[in-house]
Structure 1
Amino acid sequence: MKHTQLYIYILLGFLLSTLSLDAQSNKQKALEQQRQQILKEIKEFRAILQGKKKEEKSEISLIEDLTYKVRKRQNLIRVTNEQANLLTREINTNQKEITSLRTQLQELKDDYAAMLVKAYKSKSEQSKVMFLLSSDNFKQAYKRLQYIKQYANYQKEQAEAIKAKTKELQDLNIQLSKQKEDKQKLIEENRVAKRELEKELKEREVLMASIKSDMSKFAAQIKKKQQEADRLDKEINRLIREAIAASNKKAGKATSTGKFVLTPADKIVGDNFESNKGKLGWPVSRGVIKSKFGKGRSLTDSSVEVNNPGVKIATEANADVKAVFNGEVSKIVIVKNGNPAIIVRHGNYLTIYTNLSKIYVKSGDKITTGQVIGQVFTSKSSGEAMLGFRIYKNSQKLNPQYWLAK
């Protein structure tokens, strides 16, 4: 009974520790994926900046670039800290497990040693034969024979259990050593990241101080950019309403719900688009999301809140813009004092590509996934190329980051 309980406790302890370690391991993998994605974005943005023209950039552009880098660096440090802290917890868990395993191993060895001593005292074949022959009847002799076999099997099981527990202990020691190395590596990488962050924060501080004397001029520039963005949003929303109304009228089902009435063919396209959520190709070959969807803080002035209807992707100068999915060009958007945009329909979904310099399609064109439909506008003074990308379901704005492939 004592041995059975010992095995049950060992088994339960092993299962619980395995489940805990698996959960920690999965979280560690998720954090590492997140860290690698941030590192990739930092590298990509650095490459984009190096590829820009060498003309002097505006102070606003410089501040936006530095703010983006600072935010990415802060996020990298946060994720790396989480990884290091999780590793610390895993190391502590494993050290406790090693202590427990050593105790269990010693108990098994003590138990096995006692068994060997007992076996030694009655080791002769003669004593076993006498043990059987001294039975009162055949039934008792049979039971004694079964006992001898069970005892021999139990000895083998104990030996195997000691071997297995020793191997488990060795594996855990190797794992612990690897975890300590990983933690040290993360700590060192974080030191480097913090030094880079301090450098970027100082650069931004110096730049912000240099423009304080002429804040009115930069405030006017920011206001002008916001007015242009507002005009574009207003025009896009108007064109979407018109497109829905025209499509529904053509289908003979005029409605004011703000939703497309879908034909069977339109429904297939919309369903296919929806099934590719998180798998859509990027609208440019190379780029990083510099401004996220929804409410956030301005890259220029952190005290100012902005509400982006899509994402802004920093990319290479004169980059080609590609359709993210099969569809039909619904509208070409032209606004006064602004750059054109393209609205592409995919059933009851719309993708919108803004801040273009060239357009290679026209309204009504059928387009395919990956087809080049235009070119991103590139600032002559700074070399900055920024594509605006949006996704709508009917007239509802969606977060493109949930739809684009990682």
Structure 2
Amino acid sequence: MIKPQIVYKIAIVLCCFLSSVSVFSQSKKQLELEERRQELRKEIEQINSMLFKNKSKAKSQLSLIEDLNHKINVRNNLIKVTNQQANLLTREIGVNQREITQLREDLENLKADYAEMIVHSYKSRSTQSKVMFLLSSTNFHQAYKRLQYIKQYSNFQKQQGENIQIKTEELKIANQKLLKQKEDKQALIKENSIAQAQLELERKQQRELMASIQKDLKSYTAQIKEKQQEADRIDREIEKLIREAIAKSNKKAGNKSNTSGFTLTPEAKNLAASFVANKGKLPWPVEKGVVKLKYGNQPHPIVKTATIHSNGVRIATSPGAQVRAVFNGEVYAIIVQKKGNPTVLIQHGNYFTAYKNLGKVYVKKGDKVTTNQSIGEVFTNSATGDTTLSFSVFKESNTQNPASWLYKM
């Protein structure tokens, strides 16, 4: 039968282990939250720099409120993450305080045991008493055992002294950690308070803009419809060109039965495979940017009766921003329409990437391009100050969500 003392010690060890696992898990979560918080802070800085800095008065009310809505959403996420961090710190502080209490109790017990040993050692300190203790043994075996006991007792006494030093140091570190946690929590609370105040100002501005837009809702609805038609025209042209490329590849290979997909050369197959292998790791088409419009069908953030259909993502960036190829490939076409700015279409085997709304184009049809190579410059609207790139990914003629392909989008 296991002794109660042993069961108690096992329970203590198990509790300490589970506590350490919990603290490790919380610390890991805290690091993840901190990384996300810094990303959101950086995104707000980019929003301020790219969407709200030195903007022309000609910028439409609709565009202003779209930008403001995006900023409010990001700030809401920042406040949410900061709150999660503060709450997690509160739990970690509680765990640490309990650990400190236990350490203090352990230290007091160690000191009491050590004091008792010192008193006992003092009473039996004479060499003569130790010699007599050995000589009074009834046989050699007993004398050997007593000698071992004396050594063990001396070593144990020394170990207890070292344990006291270790526990004292552990307690000191735990107190420092607790102080740091409390400081971090106060900093987060202060930052959240500032963010809440900024959010309230932005919401007030949002309400004022919405009230202005509601007075002329028909006009804004017409603007949204016109923008959608322009985007659809470019997308139809891209899809037409890709279908033509599929037909050419099959005709060249003498494959008359295949009409839906490419017949690729070994080189093109390798390129496509490499493109797929880098899914989720591709660089952004601009060095810095903020995603203003996501992929897919979505209700308009202002005019709820209008639906936005997006074959890609719309990225706001800085004036003069360079457009970069996201992967090795060949320029398949430069699309120029009467209304709108040039689009560069790059082929990567049976995949294509499209870069729309360029102000300058540095490449021509048939050029080989490499990852991160500058292929042009994003167009900046001189009247509104907007600098926006639309970016799409296609497999055959089917659209893909760029957020699944680009790194941390």
Q: Distance in 2 between matches of 1:79 and 1:302?
A: 28
Partner of 1:139: 141
Instruction: Tell me what 1:186 maps to.
Output: 188
User: CA distance change for structure 1 residues 302 and 99 in 2, over 3 Å: closer, same or farther?
Assistant: farther
Partner of 1:266: 268
- Look up the match of 2:26: 24
Mapped partners of 2:181, 2:366: distance in 1: 58
The alpha carbon displacement at 1:69 in A equals: 1.1
* Contact persistence 1:320–1:375 (CA under 8 A): yes
Please provide the CA RMSD for this pair: 2.6
Instruction: Sort the Cα spacing of 1:160 and 1:398 in 2 relative to 1 into closer, same or farther, 3 A.
Output: farther
Unaligned residue ranges in structure 1 (runs of 5+): none
Aligned to 1:60: 62
Aligned equivalent of 1:116, options 111, 118, 134: 118
- Secondary structure of the structure 2 residue equivalent to 1:313: strand
Q: 2:252 matched to which residue of 1? A: 250
- C-alpha displacement of 1:154: 1.5
Matches within 5 A, 1:69-148: 69-148=71-150
Letter of the 1:26 partner, please give it. K
Question: 1:204-224 CA deviation, whole Å, 9 max, x = no partner?
Answer: 110111122211111111111
- 2:384 counterpart SS class: coil
Can you give the 5+ residue segments of structure 2 that lack an aligned partner in the other structure? none
More moved, 13-22 vs 364-373: 13-22
The 1:147–1:278 alpha-carbon spacing in structure 2 relative to 1, beyond 3 Å, is same
- Counterpart CA distance in 1 for 2:404 and 2:117 is 63
Letter in 2 for 1:28: Q
Structure-to-structure mapping, 1:197-208, within 5 angstroms: 197-208=199-210
CA distance in 2, matches of 1:220, 1:30: 43
The structural deviation recorded for 1:63 is 1.0
- Which of 197, 220, 242 lines up with 1:218 in the alignment? 220
* 2:216 aligned counterpart, secondary structure: helix
What does residue 309 of structure 1 align with? 311
8 Å contact kept, 1:34–1:79? yes
Q: How do residues 265-344 of structure 1 correspond to structure 2 at under 5 angstroms?
A: 265-294=267-296, 296-301=298-303, 306-335=308-337, 337-344=339-346
Assess if the C-alpha contact under 8 Å between 2:357 and 2:388 holds in 1. Answer: yes
* Cα shift at 1:266: 2.4
Matching of residue 172 in structure 1 with residue 174 in structure 2 = yes
Cα deviation, residue 60, structure 1: 1.0
**How far does the alpha carbon of each residue in 1:32-91 deviate from its partner, in whole angstroms, 9 at most, with x for none?**
111111111111121223555534211111111111111111111111111111111111
Distance across 1 between alignment mates of 2:54 and 2:239:
33
Q: Summarize the Cα distance change of 1:213–1:90 in structure 2 as closer, same or farther, 3 Å threshold.
A: same
1:191-243 alpha-carbon deviations (Å, 9 max, x no partner): 11111111111111101111222111111111111222233333333333333
Tell me how far 1:117 sits from its aligned partner.
3.1
Contact 1:282 1:324 in 2 (8 A): yes
Query: What letter corresponds to residue 138 of structure 2 in structure 1?
Result: D
Corresponding residue pairs, total: 406
* Cα separation, 2, equivalents of 1:174 and 1:111: 27
TM-score normalised by structure 2 residue count = 0.89
- In structure 2, do the counterparts of structure 1 residues 131 and 7 end up closer, same or farther at CA, with 3 Å as the change threshold? farther
> Structure 2 CA distance, aligned partners of 1:99 and 1:340?
68
Residues of 2 paired with 1:71 and 1:224: CA distance?
26
CA contact (8 A) 1:245 1:255 kept: no
Alpha-carbon distance in structure 2 between the residues aligned to 1:383 and 1:21: 49
Percent identity, please: 54
1:272: how far off?
Answer: 3.3
Q: Which amino acid aligns with 2:106?
A: Q
TM-score by length of 1: 0.90
Question: Whole-Å Cα distance in 1 between the matches of residues 298 and 122 of structure 2?
Answer: 78
- In 2 relative to 1, CA 142–185 (structure 1 residues): closer, same or farther, beyond 3 Å? same
Q: 1:107 to 1:397 in 2, by over 3 A?
A: farther
Greater shift in the superposed pair: 13-22 or 171-180? 13-22
Q: Structure 1: how far apart are the matches of 2:230 and 2:203?
A: 30
1:35 lines up with 2:37 in the alignment: yes
Say whether the 8 Å CA contact 1:248–1:261 is kept in structure 2: yes
Closer, same or farther in 2 for the Cα pair 1:56/1:345, shift >3 Å? same
Residues 341 and 359, structure 2, Cα contact 8 Å, conserved in 1:
yes
Q: Which amino acid aligns with 1:119?
A: S
Q: Distance in 2 between matches of 1:32 and 1:230?
A: 40
Answer with 343-352 or 133-142: which moved more. 343-352
How far apart, in 1, do the equivalents of 2:73 and 2:305 lie? 15
Which of 346, 349, 354 is matched with 1:347 structurally?
349
Match among 230, 251, 268 for residue 228 of structure 1: 230
